[in-house]
Amino acid sequence: MRMSLLFNQTLRELPADAITPGNHFLLRAGYVRQVATNFFILNPLATRSLQKIKNMVQQELNRLNGQEVNIPSLLSAEILAKRSVHSFLDVDMQDVSDSSSHQMYLTSTAHHYLPDLIQHTIRSHRQLPRLLYQIQPRMLNGRQNRTGLLSTRSVTRLETFFLDKDLSSATQQYQRLIQTFENVFKRCTLPVLTVEFDYQQPKPESGSEFFFLHPQGDIELLHCQSCGYLVNKASGRAVKQPSEPEPFESLAKVHTPNTKTIEDLANFLDIPASRTAKAVFMTATIIENGEKTEKVVMAIVRGDMDLNESKLARVINAWYIRPSSDLEIQSIGAVPGFASPVGLINALIIVDDLIPNSPNLVAGANETDYHFKYVNYGRDFQAKIIADITTVKTGDACPQCNQPLTEQSGFLVGKITSPDTLMSSETGCNFQDESGELKPIFIGSAWLDLERILGGVAEHGNDDYGLIWPNSLTPYQVHLVVLPSKNTDQPQVFAENLYQELQRARIEVLFDDRKESPGVKFNDADLLGIPLRITVAERSLAQGQVEFKIRHEKEKQTVSLEDVLPQTMHTLLGMEREIAQSLVK
């Protein structure tokens, strides 16, 4: 590609909304254009790089006999009601209904269509194992960060499903998929940590999440420096210290004027916050039979702990969750600021698993300026669900070694869920085993967001002057720069021939044939970050040489004219070899 024909514009100025270095250079070099918060257009250069990630993912999955499918992303309410898999929650689903039509949703996953897909094809154990995948654009909810391409709401998502007849064979597929994802990250030279997760509610679910650690990451992780334990804060558990057991005292109402917060209350009664129960009201959107309904949830945690909203959302299978308004709190019979689970008959109450082991707590009395003393779970109130719904904090004890945990941030780039038979049992996805018996199929699933990989590589590979792409992801492999001369057209003629020759050798070349100054051309080359720059200039040409510069190295080298093609191939092969070696380690 000639730069004189390239659809691109590099910028001299720093875009005001580029916060991270990688994103700053992606915008300045013209790879992407931000049109609104977390909405990006991928220009031709970035599209070429994204295509390379896509090819890599397809190559790696095809090695595992993966087969590509294309499943609709649009769902009608009828399909959702009929096909919705209760054990699976589509948190990124978008309501795209309009006033004249039926309710429609844009899904972020093929899960809703999966039972249909499987039931109509898989009948026998001879048809297992199978690995299916698709790569499609997806819209994501809740991307609040403004970190550029890493927080884009529009992603190209690889989604994959693996089917198997028994747990041991399915677990092997799961492990091969982890290896495959790790290979993709290595080929992209993106440092990614594989972190295991394990949820208990609303169904047991475990697997692996893949994080690119970054100070501005949108996911908080907890790290134990002593044993290396690393976990997503949304699902992380810490050791909870139960209160000392003691006999239940009789319930007593006390006057507690102006004590709307736990701190006020604890100070007023001169007790530690751990002797109080905190009521937090959240309004949850739940999908039942294809219809959205809202429910006010009363979550009870000990006063010294905080509610973890994502844990609560998962426990009640909520699509979306937000703090309740005072009106909503009153609608279930509670008094804001003095709310109590005691005597609330029809409320949906969820309590943290530490509450039943915390006797004689102080809780609201559902009456302004009054609290109850000696509230006890079981005797004074009951919950619909008891679960771990509290947030783990810096300094809490590591569940593996009891040492204090510290916080780190990262971006989630992919996830693999361990195989189970929950979905197939629920939807009747069965196969006939060797003895003719019908058995549920083991199903595991995974996803990978390609823009997040691209954004991560840009964050990881840059210096003061611009981006530094690995050979595997660069939009072009060679940046050929010609410095025109006033005295002779020799540099231009030589560079034109070299451009043709490199292309004949199937090397991807970006040829800077513009009438710009050397300064502009070199600045743009550094900004674009193509791994090998070849410069053709009058002076070196007169000595029978051109100049080679590897983007991430300081030193330049001269190469004699007859060696240019072999030396280019040798350099690019060397870069490929380095990546290939990281795969076999």
Instruction: Name the residue nearer to Zn ion (CB basis): 241 or 293.
Output: 241
189 to 228: interface string for Zn ion, x by CB under 5 A: -----------------------------------x-xx-
Pick the binder of Zn ion from 88, 229, 381, 499 (CB under 5 A): 229
CA atoms within 13 A on the CB side of 364: 26
Q: Of 108-116, 391-399, 420-428, 493-501, which part binds Zn ion (CB under 5 A)? A: 391-399
Cis previous bond, 202, omega within 30: yes
Nearest-approach distance from CB 308 to Zn ion, in angstroms: 20
φ, ψ at 370 (rounded to 5°): -135, 145
Instruction: Name the residue nearer to Zn ion (CB basis): 4 or 402.
Output: 402
Nearest-approach distance from CB 236 to Zn ion, in angstroms: 12
Q: 33, 40 in Cβ contact below 8 A?
A: yes
**d(Cα 409, Cα 212) in Å, to the nearest integer?**
9
Instruction: Region of 289 please: left (phi>0), alpha (psi -120 to 50) or beta.
Output: left
Residues 45-64 that bind Zn ion (CB under 5 A): none
Nearest-approach distance from CB 352 to Zn ion, in angstroms: 22
**d(Cα 330, Cα 324) in Å, to the nearest integer?**
10
Q: 109, 90 in Cβ contact below 8 A?
A: yes
Instruction: Name the residue nearer to Zn ion (CB basis): 252 or 401.
Output: 401
* Partner residues linked to 281 by β-bridges: 298
Using the 8-state DSSP alphabet, how is residue 151 labeled? G
**d(Cα 336, Cα 252) in Å, to the nearest integer?**
20
Instruction: Name the residue nearer to Zn ion (CB basis): 78 or 198.
Output: 198
Instruction: Name the residue nearer to Zn ion (CB basis): 236 or 470.
Output: 236
Nearest to 337 by CA among 260, 258, 259: 260
Instruction: Name the residue nearer to Zn ion (CB basis): 77 or 224.
Output: 224
Strand 556-560 vs strand 545-550: parallel, antiparallel, or unpaired?
A: antiparallel
Instruction: Name the residue nearer to Zn ion (CB basis): 232 or 358.
Output: 232
Burial 477-501 (b: 16+ CB within 10 A, else e): bbbbbbbbeeeeeebbebbbebbee
The reply to whether 448 sits near Zn ion by the rule CB under 5 A is no
Compute, in degrees rounded to 10, the torsion defined by CA atoms 359, 364, 369, 372: -40
Nearest-approach distance from CB 225 to Zn ion, in angstroms: 8
Instruction: Name the residue nearer to Zn ion (CB basis): 226 or 368.
Output: 226
Nearest-approach distance from CB 222 to Zn ion, in angstroms: 10
Q: Of 210-218, 397-405, 466-474, 486-494, which part binds Zn ion (CB under 5 A)? A: 397-405
Q: What is the DSSP string of 103-136?
A: -EEE-S-SGGGHHHHHHTT--BGGG-SEEEEEEE
**d(Cα 47, Cα 36) in Å, to the nearest integer?**
19
Instruction: Name the residue nearer to Zn ion (CB basis): 203 or 237.
Output: 237
Nearest-approach distance from CB 437 to Zn ion, in angstroms: 45
Q: Of 50-58, 206-214, 244-252, 396-404, which part binds Zn ion (CB under 5 A)? A: 396-404
Q: Of 31-39, 60-68, 343-351, 403-411, which part binds Zn ion (CB under 5 A)? A: 403-411
Q: How many residues bind Zn ion (CB under 5 A)?
A: 8
342 to 381: interface string for Zn ion, x by CB under 5 A: ----------------------------------------
Instruction: Name the residue nearer to Zn ion (CB basis): 400 or 497.
Output: 400
Instruction: Name the residue nearer to Zn ion (CB basis): 238 or 559.
Output: 238
Q: Of 31-39, 129-137, 317-325, 392-400, which part binds Zn ion (CB under 5 A)? A: 392-400
Q: Of 85-93, 188-196, 211-219, 394-402, which part binds Zn ion (CB under 5 A)? A: 394-402
The reply to whether 401 sits near Zn ion by the rule CB under 5 A is yes
Nearest-approach distance from CB 408 to Zn ion, in angstroms: 14
Nearest-approach distance from CB 228 to Zn ion, in angstroms: 7
3-class secondary structure, 548: strand
| CA distance to 277, 280, 337, 388, 406, per residue, from 396 (Å) | 19, 22, 28, 15, 8
Nearest-approach distance from CB 215 to Zn ion, in angstroms: 22
Instruction: Name the residue nearer to Zn ion (CB basis): 226 or 557.
Output: 226
Nearest-approach distance from CB 404 to Zn ion, in angstroms: 9
Q: 365, 342 in Cβ contact below 8 A?
A: yes
The reply to whether 398 sits near Zn ion by the rule CB under 5 A is yes
Exposed/middle/buried for residue 504 (C-beta within 10 Å: 0-12, 13-18, 19+): exposed
The reply to whether 541 sits near Zn ion by the rule CB under 5 A is no
The reply to whether 569 sits near Zn ion by the rule CB under 5 A is no
99 to 128: interface string for Zn ion, x by CB under 5 A: ------------------------------
**d(Cα 319, Cα 98) in Å, to the nearest integer?**
20
Residues 302-331 that bind Zn ion (CB under 5 A): none
Nearest to 249 by CA among 377, 373, 342, 370: 373
Compute, in degrees rounded to 10, the torsion defined by CA atoms 290, 296, 300, 306: 80
Instruction: Name the residue nearer to Zn ion (CB basis): 44 or 395.
Output: 395
Burial 505-528 (b: 16+ CB within 10 A, else e): eebbbbbbbbebeeeebbbbbbbb
3-class secondary structure, 476: coil
Pick the binder of Zn ion from 400, 488, 543, 581 (CB under 5 A): 400
Nearest-approach distance from CB 406 to Zn ion, in angstroms: 11
Residues near Zn ion, by CB under 5 A = 224, 226-227, 229, 398, 400-401, 403
